[in-house]
Amino acid sequence: RGGAADWPALANWRRRGYLEDRAGHRSIGFKAAPGGRFEGVEPAAAWDPEGEQRPPPAVAEQLESPDLVVVRPQPMEAELRTFLAQLRPDANATCPVWPAQPFTHEQGATWPSFYMEYLALEGNIDELSDDVLKPGFASFLHE
């Protein structure tokens, strides 16, 4: 408990503009999805209203629910500053890569959800790695 209490990141990353000033130019990968749903199933008709895209018969006959499709988030890439701008309350509800294409979720409200995961600072955003102190007991990991 309290293992990160001395990390400069706790104070620095809260200051508006700090992350953008230090590393805003860095490209990061993230996922975008409508309404906060990052995985699930939806009716196949929602994705193919004309019914033109069908799996091969050998695949279709093995499907438990051929009327459903698995939906996954859209992988995207943008500068860190662009990603952070989309998280602010005053941001418009568009995707930073395709700004004219808003996400609309099932309730009809338009608002995208963005998710960044597993981004190692070292090697990706080196400018921020000094803000996260390495614990002494794990020094062997950084040799």
For residue 70, what are its two tokens? 């698995």
| Close Cβ partners of 53 (under 8 Å, ≥ 6 residues apart) | 47
What does pTM read for this prediction? 0.67
Highest mean pLDDT: which of 2-6, 69-73, 126-130? 126-130
Res 110: pLDDT: 56
Mean of the per-residue pLDDT values of the chain: 80
- Per residue in 79-114, pLDDT (tens digit) is 999 888 887 776 655 554 444 444 444 444 556 778
Locate the domains of the chain by residue range. 1-36+73-132, 39-72
Count CB-CB contacts under 10 A for residue 33: 19
Do 41 and 70 touch, CB atoms closer than 8 A? yes
Q: Strand pairing of 40-43 and 27-34?
A: unpaired
**Strand order in 27-34's β-sheet?**
74-79, 27-34, 112-115
Res 104: pLDDT: 44
**More confident site: 28 or 105:** 28
Distance CA 126, CA 26 (A): 10
